[in-house]
Chains A and B, each alone.
Chain A
Amino acid sequence: MTTVVVFNVAREPAAAQVLADGRLVWPARKLPAGEDDHAALAVAVGLAASDLVGITLGQGDPGWAAARGTSEVVRVADVTVGDDDGATAAALAAAVAEVDGAELVVIGDSEHHPGLAPALAGYLGWPVVLAATSAVRIGSDVEATRRAGRVEETVSVPIPAVIAVAAATEESSPPGMKAMLAARRLPVRDVTAADLGIAAVPAFEPTLTSLPSSTTARLIGGDPLQAATELVKALRAEGVLE
């Protein structure tokens, strides 16, 4: 009965460097935590009946999860995150299979990797609840809450299952320096793709990238009254004021 939390496997756009010629450079060694990771960790801590094992890939920071409640971290050291959520999911599923008694996997539901959590569930052959905001264990089920359009709904699925959590806010109280330092002493188990019986394929990247054609707003200048007059005229012409 082990709960697993997958973290640091989303590439946030803010971490990318865009060069003048349109090339995209991602951090090679360390990815900043994903926007949804803190929420996934909080949900996982709440769901974990006993051990909470963290899983990450080569650019993950085990200390980040350890400071937030994992007892052990498994890191697939030679696999990194690329654009192909299917490939990332395959590696993560192989790592989950290594964790004794894993029956519940919690992961951040990153909007930049909409296929990751579903494909992970697909590889594991487990049901998934996506876009969850909270989750509780009820007997042998997990009951997760999510927003669907204008209603809030509760979805219950039997364990084993994958719960993908979307953060609603920033992390409210990140661990302090002391907890971060202590976390560095917690165990990290580095494994390789070969250990997991999967091919260590390089991260899937575009063959070409370029800068988008700039689509900035039509800026209206002049003194405020003049600008306001011109804007109202333009909006009338657009037909959005009637």
Chain B
Amino acid sequence: MTTTWLVVTDPLDLCALGRLVPGLPVDSIVIGDRALADSSARTGVRSVHWIEPVEGVPADAYAAAAADIVLGAAPGLVATTATAPASRAVVGVVAARCRASVLSGVTGVSEAGDALEVTGGAAGNAVVATWEVSGPLCAFIAPADEAPAPGVAVGLTPHPDAAPRPSRVTVSAAAVASGLADAARVVGVGRGLRSRADLAMVEALAGSLDAELACSMPLAEDLGWLPKDRFVGRSGQQVSPRLYLAVGLSGAPQHLQGVRGAKVIVAVNSDPEAAIFRAADYGIVGDLYEVVPALTAVLASD
């Protein structure tokens, strides 16, 4: 009998659970603080093996120790999300030691006879793919929107003897709090804007929405129209507002990586083929120089 494991080093890893083989018991290995272990314990997993890192030692340093625990139980499926480096590091050790297949972008795993049938996005979600895996599988799951609703907690199994590899972590710079991370509404502006002076028009819209102003990377890095802590994306800020309004932004994948947590995405773009419309919930195809003042006016008259 093989076992199914969930690797947890970040709260988002818990959102992988909903995509796993329905009804299968799942054991979890947590590297993190007590709160993370406790929230894992309430997700319906069968067990929580818990490693608490020593101060100054990164969670990644316990990857081999965590892998030992998983490998001791003949894993057939080891799942996590691609969010945290430490979860990925654990999976890497497990995969090598049991020569597992490693797939990413996974949205579902089910049993098909002796094999596993895996579905997910391939080529950056350009297609939906089905893979068949016969050996052990390590799967990076595209997190579901929500973690399982908290239920009855199982007991924790602490592993105080888990030995880290020699490694140190220090916080070298706390990112300046730009207010973006916690904003309920964010207006993001891109290169569709023709001049710096026109920012005032977008600022007025942000003001009437009680929203924070953000931008794409080129506006901050190349043009310098907004401070660098205002650009959103894989290299910039991560935002998770209830509303993200993208104005004159093409919707490059690197930008969209920063708005994955947004509840509703709205796009204003003059190009009906712009990628942003594939990521948005609502869109207006039009000239931002007409649409933005119109939106501001409608909001003001409300």
Residue ranges of A at the interface with B (Cβ–Cβ < 8 Å): 11, 13, 16, 18, 22, 24, 83-87, 89-90, 93, 111-123, 125, 127-131, 145-158, 166, 168-169, 204, 206-212, 215-221, 224-225, 227-229, 231-232, 234-235, 238-241
Q: Is the CB of B138 within 8 A of A206?
A: no
Q: Is the CB of A153 within 8 A of B171?
A: yes
Give per-residue flags for B259-302: 1 if the beta carbon is below 8 A from chain A beta carbons, else 0. 00001111100001000011111111111001101110111001
List the A side residues contacting B3 at CB < 8 Å.
none
For A35, the closest partner residue in chain B by CB is: B254
A241 to B264, CA, bound (A): 11
Q: Is the CB of B122 within 8 A of A115?
A: no
Q: Is the CB of A114 within 8 A of B104?
A: yes
> Which one of B23-31, B46-54, B150-158, B160-168 is at the A interface?
B160-168
Q: Per DSSP, are chain B's interface residues mostly helix, strand or loop, or mixed?
A: mixed
Answer yes or no: B200 CB below 8 A from chain A CBs: no
Q: Name 13 extra pairs, CB < 8 A, besides A119-B92, A153-B170, A234-B282.
A: A85-B95, A86-B96, A118-B92, A121-B93, A127-B63, A128-B63, A150-B174, A154-B171, A156-B168, A206-B129, A216-B277, A216-B283, A231-B295
| 8 A-B pairs closest in CB distance | A118-B92, A122-B96, A13-B124, A115-B102, A206-B129, A114-B82, A217-B283, A130-B85
Interface centre among A90, A117, A155, A224 (most CB of B within 10 A): A224
Separation in Å of the A48 CB from the closest CB of chain B?
22
List the B side residues contacting A13 at CB < 8 Å.
123-126, 253
A118 to B235, CA, bound (A): 21
Q: Is the CB of B286 within 8 A of A16?
A: no
The answer to whether residues A209 and B102 also contact, given A128-B60, A217-B282 and a CB cut-off of 8 A, is no
Residue ranges of B at the interface with A (Cβ–Cβ < 8 Å): 58, 60-61, 63, 67, 82, 85, 88-89, 91-97, 99-104, 121-132, 138, 140, 165-175, 177, 181, 185, 209, 217, 221, 234-235, 238, 242-243, 253, 257, 263-267, 272, 277-287, 290-291, 293-295, 297-299, 302
Q: Is the CB of B91 within 8 A of A118?
A: yes
Q: Is the CB of A232 within 8 A of B302?
A: yes
Q: Is the CB of B168 within 8 A of A225?
A: no
List the B side residues contacting A211 at CB < 8 Å.
127-128
List the A side residues contacting B93 at CB < 8 Å.
118, 121-122
Q: Is the CB of A153 within 8 A of B172?
A: yes
A83 to B97, CA, bound (A): 19
Q: Is the CB of B165 within 8 A of A127?
A: yes
Q: Is the CB of A225 within 8 A of B298?
A: yes
